[in-house]
């Protein structure tokens, strides 16, 4: 009889022999390959920690003993062993299991730990709390990858953990020589020395921690022995475990790019995607355009934080290896280093996920913007990303970063605009610039019907009732809103400001001619582009009422991008219904027969559309 279906919780592991644990490990790998191939997700990291997770839950008594996973995408096996096997049918889908630890799912999950290098700080805090309360009968265990160990926050924690007084704390270093891609830097070189048995003292011992290992992370006997030793230490100890990312599945073992780090649904027999690509993604377009810019300008260099391929820089690295820098999971260092490069006559392009730029806000504000350094930031995965859950949505970038003095922010609506705005960004020499775009296909281009003092006019329908200000990749939704309003007899104009910060004066010129203004953005409504435009309109004396449509001020659950946007009310139907109701409450429109009041640019545009309609 299979063992995996009998795993009601971690205590079940202590009922099995070591031979049965090995049998269980094989069943877990088969289950992972089957379910993650179907749903998509982090396959490679979890195939690599099967035996390690079994040994941890056999040795420690979760949830009394605290297990922290860093980064949390390696916790699928942990979920299986803590009673959540059935939830894998809806992995990373609305109503299903999260792809990361989730305290709402289980008492065995402490934190939604999907931003790297945090576990040691959590663990230090828990160990201090245990000491304060006099708890000596429970363990604190942080499982941290060697990639996460490149983050500065991990070393801040180690500095404190190794000091006095010494508190019981177990650090399991899951060393597979990778984050997303191979781990870089001096830490990686030191771990290689330890793996190869060179006669060197570990840096952990130099910092005051005990060190055990390295040990084969796929040898259950060895793992159980070393974890038992660690538990008996009575002070902080590092257990160095060597694992193989993607172990046990030919299509991940042979993938030298990322070892199946994060996959879309695939055919497990062939390893090929189940769905064909739906066109070029924003990421691919950025990757193509940055190569062109680097080829044309010898002063441009790109920087990434352990995300060479996911941010679209792989082609650039292959073509110009000396023009790309991978700093590891060290966003703060990446940004301040970019400021230094700029001081040295380089124009850096920092390619990073939107959710991770939050970690480098101080550096962007004080090290780049304060010194008016011309650094370009390219934020991938902005807006709703969906499947990876609340910590990976890029829904705060425009709210947080619009407060930075001198920072110019662009939100391209399609691939052509991405190319144009990126080129404009790297040409700007008076301070920092930022270009942000979402995960997924760029879709069809949406050409402007006219340009009005730097603002793209995408649509003009009927009278001057509603001005729809479309921000970035929600332009297709804005166009659908326009159609729905026209069907209700409500005239409208759809515009895209392209550069959302600073607000273009032309928006005020257009807004004052309409009865109502709405803004549509895939960013938090709180402090978002809509709020900034509303302030700019007030400052310029425009009294037209404005309503912002964006993401509510709450953390959003995992699910598809479309499902999450719908849950936020960011569909054409929801927006148009809300606008129609509000329009009914507005006063009758003023007399708009005297078009001489309109400046010549907008008058020409409106007249051209009227001629076309006639």
Q: How far is CA 189 from CA 177, 185, 195, 246, 607, in A?
A: 10, 7, 10, 22, 68
Q: How far apart are CA 318 and CA 290, in angstroms?
A: 13
Q: Mark the binding-site residues for thiamine diphosphate, compressed into ranges.
A: 73, 114-116, 147-148, 176, 249, 331
> Could you tell me the two tokens for 526?
């709180």
359 assigned to active site: yes
Q: Count H helices, E strands: the chain?
A: 23, 18
Asked if residues 606 and 613 have their Cβ atoms less than 8 Å apart, the reply is: no
Q: Find the DSSP H helices in 501-592.
A: 505-511, 529-539, 561-567, 572-585
220-231 and 18-39 helices, crossing angle to 10° = 100
Q: Catalytic one among 112, 177, 244, 331?
A: 331
Q: How far is CA 322 from CA 179, 300, 316, in A?
A: 21, 11, 10
Residue 115: CB partners within 8 Å, gap ≥ 6? 71, 355, 356, 359, 391
> Could you tell me the two tokens for 214?
């390295």
Q: Starting at the earlier edge strand, list the strands of the sheet with 376-380.
A: 324-326, 300-304, 347-353, 376-380, 433-436, 408-410, 499-501
Q: Catalytic one among 259, 323, 359, 513?
A: 359
Q: What is the DSSP string of 444-480?
A: S----SEEETTEEEEEEESSS-EEEEE-GGGHHHHHH
Place of tokens 């509000």: 582
Comparing C-alpha atoms, which of 408, 355, 445 is closest to residue 532? 408
Q: Catalytic one among 245, 381, 504, 515?
A: 245
Q: How far apart are CA 577 and CA 133, in angstroms?
A: 56
Q: Mark the binding-site residues for Mg(2+), compressed into ranges.
A: 146, 176
Q: How far apart are CA 567 and CA 557, in angstroms?
A: 10
Q: Mark the binding-site residues, compressed into ranges.
A: 73, 114-116, 146-148, 176, 249, 331
Comparing C-alpha atoms, which of 565, 525, 564 is closest to residue 546? 525
β-strand pairing of 347-353 with 324-326: unpaired
Catalytic residues: 245, 331, 359
């Amino acid at each position: 009889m299979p063992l995996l279906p009998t795993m009601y919780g971690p205590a079940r592991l202590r009922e099995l022999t070591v031979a049965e644990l090995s049998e269980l490990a094989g069943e877990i790998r088969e289950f992972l390959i089957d379910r993650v191939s179907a749903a998509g997700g982090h396959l490679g990291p979890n195939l690599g920690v099967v035996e390690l997770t079994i040994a941890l839950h056999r040795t420690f008594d979760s949830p009394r003993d605290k297990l922290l996973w860093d980064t949390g995408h390696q916790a699928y096996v942990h979920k299986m062993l803590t009673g959540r096997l059935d939830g894998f049918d809806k992995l990373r889908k609305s109503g299903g299991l999260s792809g990361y630890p989730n305290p709402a799912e289980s008492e065995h999950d402490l934190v939604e730990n999907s931003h790297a290098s945090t576990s040691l700080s959590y663990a230090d805090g828990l160990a201090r709390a245990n000491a304060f309360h006099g708890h000596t009968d429970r363990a604190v265990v942080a499982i941290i990858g060697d990639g996460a160990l490149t983050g500065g926050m991990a070393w801040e924690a180690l500095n404190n953990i190794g000091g006095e007084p010494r508190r019981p704390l177990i650090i399991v270093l899951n060393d597979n020589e990778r984050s997303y891609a191979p781990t870089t830097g001096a830490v990686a070189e030191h771990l290689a020395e330890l793996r190869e048995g060179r006669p060197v003292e570990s840096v952990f011992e130099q910092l005051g921690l005990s060190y055990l290992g390295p040990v084969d992370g796929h040898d259950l006997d060895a793992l159980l022995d070393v974890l038992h030793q660690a538990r008996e230490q009575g002070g902080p100890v590092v257990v160095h475990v060597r694992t193989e990312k993607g172990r046990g599945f030919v299509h991940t073992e042979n993938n030298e790019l990322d070892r199946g780090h994060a996959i879309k649904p695939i055919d497990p027999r062939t390893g090929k995607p189940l769905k064909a690509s739906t066109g070029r993604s924003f990421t691919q377009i950025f990757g193509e355009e940055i190569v062109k810019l680097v080829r044309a300008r010898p002063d441009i260099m790109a920087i990434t934080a352990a995300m060479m391929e996911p941010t679209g820089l792989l082609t650039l690295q292959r073509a110009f290896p000396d023009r790309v820098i991978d700093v590891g999971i060290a966003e703060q260092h990446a940004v301040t280093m970019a400021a230094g490069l700029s001081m040295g006559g380089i124009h850096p392009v920092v390619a990073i996920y939107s959710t991770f730029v939050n970690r480098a806000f101080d550096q962007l504000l004080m090290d780049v913007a304060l010194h008016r350094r011309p650094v370009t930031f390219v934020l991938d995965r902005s807006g709703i990303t969906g499947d990876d859950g609340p910590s990976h949505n890029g829904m705060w970038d425009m709210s947080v970063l619009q407060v930075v003095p001198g920072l110019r922010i662009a939100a391209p609506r399609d691939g052509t605009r991405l190319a144009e705005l990126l080129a404009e960004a790297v040409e700007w020499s008076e301070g920092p610039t930022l270009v942000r775009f979402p995960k997924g296909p760029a879709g069809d281009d949406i050409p402007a019907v006219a340009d009005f003092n730097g603002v793209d006019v995408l649509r003009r329908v009927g009278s001057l009732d509603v001005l729809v200000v479309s921000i970035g990749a929600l332009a297709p939704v804005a166009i659908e809103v326009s159609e729905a309003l026209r069907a209700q007899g409500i005239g409208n104009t759809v515009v895209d400001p392209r550069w959302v910060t600073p607000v273009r004066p032309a928006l005020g010129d257009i807004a004052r001619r309409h009865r109502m203004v709405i803004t549509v953005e895939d960013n938090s409504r709180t402090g978002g582009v809509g709020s900034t435009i509303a302030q700019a309109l007030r400052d310029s004396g425009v009294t037209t009422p404005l309503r912002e449509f964006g993401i509510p001020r709450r953390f959003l659950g995992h699910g598809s991008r479309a499902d999450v946007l719908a849950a936020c009310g960011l569909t054409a139907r929801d927006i148009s219904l809300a606008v129609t109701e509000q329009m009914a409450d507005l006063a009758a429109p003023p007399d708009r027969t005297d078009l001489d009041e309109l400046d010549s640019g907008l008058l020409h545009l409106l007249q051209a559309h009227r001629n076309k309609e006639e």
